[in-house]
Amino acid sequence: MKKLILASASPRRKQILLDAGYKFDIITSDKEGEIDKITPPDKFAIRCAINKGEDVFSKLDGDFVVLSADTVVAVNGKIYGKPEGREDAERMLKDLSGNTHEVITGYALLSKSMRQTGKVITKVTFNTLTEEVLKSYLDSNLWQGKAGAYGIQDGFPLVEKYVGDYDNVVGLPIKEIDDAIKEFLK
């Protein structure tokens, strides 16, 4: 059986893989995509996942499977990545407040003999955020390092509902890619 490598520093992706029963090593990539206004959000997320995966794969020697992913939040084609600071996070959260957006995770599975890429999209509707909830969430600093400046799992009343894969919103759509991972590891 091949060895699985997670090309991500995300503690959420790590936990999802652990909860699914996988044993793996983590090797991170510093390849981050620059958000532009031309590339559609789904293609951007896939491109970033491929770049991270190929970067890590190029550093390996042996029979490995590299799993990489990149998650973005999108509203009407506009990409919301990780906030640059508190003001940026506040702007993003105010934009999402009371609206529906897409959470798109692009992923890449790479081995010597196979390559698979794809995306999973979940629609998320935010509650209308009160100033109190907004300030409390910003003060918690839980928004740091998260696409769209939030985590559905953070325990705050941000999300009214979602349609699709919960784990995708957290950062890794394990139900969608589990069979593929197993096939790659054979």
Active site residues: 70
Which one, of 24, 32, 28, lies nearest residue 7 by Cα? 28
Q: Using alpha carbons only, how large is the chain's radius of gyration in Å?
A: 16
CA distance 151 to 143: 7
Give the DSSP H/E element, type plus range, for residue 64.
strand 64-75
- Greatest distance between any 2 Cα atoms in the chain: 53
Phi, psi of 176 (to 5 degrees): -75, -30
Kindly tell me the sign of the dihedral angle through the C-alpha atoms of 48, 52, 58, 63.
negative
CA distance 96 to 80: 10
Give the DSSP H/E element, type plus range, for residue 46.
helix 41-57
Kindly tell me the sign of the dihedral angle through the C-alpha atoms of 101, 9, 109, 84.
positive
